[in-house]
């Protein structure tokens, strides 16, 4: 009687998950592609699933979707893939939550005479806000009478009535 012994090979990661940067309230999806028989998945946040720490309850498929992300969802995620032949962990990838910009301090109106320079300042919160000052709805460019048009601080050297506006 011949006995055939076969060894199950452990899973291999074919495609690693990729980092995600999503707006607050949006969905984020991580996915992994693995090769091997009878694969079992376990996603973790913050620490490797190999250590049993940070395991996400119910996150046991090849994809993990986090719905309506909040700031607390930001962090690193990985997936442990196992079968009867062993286990392997994916690379740890980041979820970055992008908070929308919000004006926390409005600029204050100025009164100036021709020849004076006035300064405007705005304070914004959020993830990496960008700035573009406008005059009467049209985007300003640096040079001439304007400087700082893409910063929180705008400087206007009033030379003509054309420099006056909203």
**Residues paired with residue 77 on neighbouring β-strands, in sequence order:** 45, 93
pLDDT tens-digit series, residues 12-58: 999 999 999 999 999 999 999 999 999 999 999 986 555 556 899 99
Which of the four pLDDT bands, split at 50, 70 and 90, describes residue 111?
confident
Return the percentage of the chain with pLDDT > 90, whole number.
Answer: 63
DSSP-assigned states of every residue in the chain = -------PPPPEEEE----EEEETTS-EEEE-EEESSS-EEEEEESS-GGGT-SBPTT--SSEEEE-S--GGG-EEEEEEEEETTEEEEPPPEEEEEEPPPEEEE--------TT-EEEEE-EEESSS-----EETTEEP-SBTTEE-TTSSEEEEE--SGGG---
* Tens digit of each residue's pLDDT (9 = 90 or more) over 113-147: 888 899 999 999 988 889 999 989 999 888 888 88
| Whether the predicted pLDDT of 2 surpasses 60 | yes
CATH numbers and ranges of domains, the chain: 12-98 (2.60.40.10), 102-163 (no CATH)
């Amino acid at each position: 009687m011949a006995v055939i012994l076969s060894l199950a090979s452990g899973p291999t990661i074919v495609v690693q998950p990729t980092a995600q940067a999503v707006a607050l309230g949006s969905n984020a999806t991580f996915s992994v592609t693995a090769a091997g028989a009878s694969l079992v998945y376990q996603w973790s946040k913050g620490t490797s699933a190999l250590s049993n720490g940070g395991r996400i309850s119910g996150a046991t498929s090849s994809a993990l979707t986090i719905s309506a992300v909040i700031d607390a969802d930001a962090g690193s995620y990985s997936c442990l893939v196992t079968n009867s032949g062993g286990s392997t962990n994916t690379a740890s990838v980041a979820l970055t939550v992008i908070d929308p910009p919000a004006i926390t301090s409005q600029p204050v109106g100025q009164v100036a005479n021709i020849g004076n320079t006035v300064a405007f300042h705005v304070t914004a919160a959020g993830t990496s806000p960008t700035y573009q000052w406008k005059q009467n709805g049209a985007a300003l460019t640096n040079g001439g009478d304007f400087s700082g048009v893409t910063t929180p601080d705008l400087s206007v050297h009033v030379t003509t009535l054309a420099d006056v506006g909203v």
